[in-house]
Amino acid sequence: MNDDSKQSLGGRARAEKLSREERSTIASVAAKARWEKESDNEMLKATHRGELEIGDIRIPCAVLEDGRRVVSEHGITTALGSRSGASKRIKKGAEEDGAQLPIFLAPYRLKEFITNEILDGPLTPITYKDKTRRVIGYPADAIPAVCEVWLKAREAGRLQKQQLQKAQQAEILMRALAHVGIVALVDEATGYQAERDRDALHQILSAYLSNERLKWAKRFPDEFYKQIYRLKKWEWPNQGNRTPFVGKITNAIVYEKLPPGVIEELQTRNPTKEGTGKRKWKHHQFLSEDIGQPDLRDHLMQLIALMRVSPDWSTFESHLNLAFPNSGDQMALSLSALKGEI
């Protein structure tokens, strides 16, 4: 047995002899030492701060001096429901064993749904300074990641009855955020959007759009169109000739939901032909392969998921309003022009 193994075994043996109170004291001292090690000069500061407003839910958020958007641990915990004593005890026990576990994912029944990818990504804690306070926060995209954990646990039937309310809150948050627009929401809540670089739009378009038109490839699954026909109560065309009206719907629920400025640039690069009103190419052929195309695919998958759980077009619109609010009008979306029947 090597020296490292002997030391490891010796450490575990000593830890097992300690009482819970002694382990708690040691953990507290260690945490305080780590906390004090971070000087004010090294700690990032919040340059902008505000609250995300999602219905009646308020989540404190901030933009740090390096541009990262963060939300507070307390805010996520409160958004999912009360800070239960059980969760606090579980978190405390985990910290005594050296684990970093946020309260909002402390319940043991969630453990199997928390992947290393999540722990090393959106659940990486960020300690920052907000004026005179030190705050523990997480990257803004932690919110949809946390919601997914709760929803997967509910779907698998792992939650206790008293935990179902938190899963319901997670569903409300997920519908409102749906992975898309969280950075924009933080920017709006903190006022940071007014101070972003003037070339931000150019940077977005450069990354999102391709310099050259890509070859045509099937990007829209058949189910996307079949769900539209089902929700609109239209008869599915046997010959595969879809009504041109579907193109207007596609623009409204797909392309107009892409990052600001993208649809305008697509219309410039892919104009309608004079006299026909039709376009020579498909808009998706101008999206970049590394960012634009994957984002389009993810957006379509989320739309299809919303369609599946909607019994009619009106209900789908309500879900769409929550999941993909228009820029500048988060909770209102009018598709009245698309409600007509053919």
In tens, the pLDDT along 316-326 reads 998 888 888 76
Q: What is the spatial distance between Cα 173 and Cα 210, in angstroms, rounded to a whole number?
A: 33
Task: Flag whether 25 is in a domain.
Answer: no
Residues 302 and 218 in one domain: yes
Residues 55 and 183 in one domain: yes
Domain-terminating residue out of 195, 229, 250? 195
Coil, strand or helix at 209 = strand
Residues 308 and 233 in one domain: yes
What is the Cα gyration radius of the chain?
24
Q: What is the spatial distance between Cα 228 and Cα 232, in angstroms, rounded to a whole number?
A: 6
| Predicted pLDDT at 240 | 61
- Count CB atoms within 10 A of the CB of residue 320: 23
Coil, strand or helix at 124 = coil
Closest to 137 (Cα-Cα) out of 27, 36, 40, 44 = 44
| Predicted pLDDT at 231 | 93
Q: What's the domain count of the chain?
A: 2
* Residue entry with tokens 């769900």: 227
| Predicted pLDDT at 269 | 86
Task: Flag whether 146 is in a domain.
Answer: yes
Q: What is the spatial distance between Cα 33 and Cα 67, in angstroms, rounded to a whole number?
A: 28
| Predicted pLDDT at 99 | 47
Residues 129 and 234 in one domain: no
Residues 141 and 288 in one domain: no
- List the chain residues with pLDDT less than 50: 1-11, 31, 35-36, 38, 87, 93-99, 179-180, 197-199, 328-342
Residues 189 and 213 in one domain: no
Closest to 110 (Cα-Cα) out of 145, 77, 159 = 159
Range of the domain at 300: 200-338
Amino acid identity, residue 43? M
Strand boundaries in 65-172, DSSP class E: 69-72, 126-130, 133-139
Residues 164 and 223 in one domain: no
Beta bridge partners of residue 58, listed in sequence order: 53
Q: Report which secondary-structure segment, H or E, holds 62.
A: strand 57-64
Coil, strand or helix at 81 = coil
Cβ partners under 8 Å of residue 134, min gap 6: 35, 43, 127, 128
Q: What is the spatial distance between Cα 122 and Cα 70, in angstroms, rounded to a whole number?
A: 10
Task: Flag whether 27 is in a domain.
Answer: no
- Count CB atoms within 10 A of the CB of residue 21: 8
Task: Flag whether 85 is in a domain.
Answer: yes
| Predicted pLDDT at 94 | 45
Burial of 195 (0-12, 13-18, 19+ CB in 10 A): exposed
pTM of the model: 0.45
Closest to 136 (Cα-Cα) out of 99, 103, 92 = 103
| Predicted pLDDT at 334 | 34
Joined tokens for residue 42: 């090294």
Task: Flag whether 332 is in a domain.
Answer: yes
Residues 61 and 110 in one domain: yes
Domain-terminating residue out of 180, 195, 210? 195
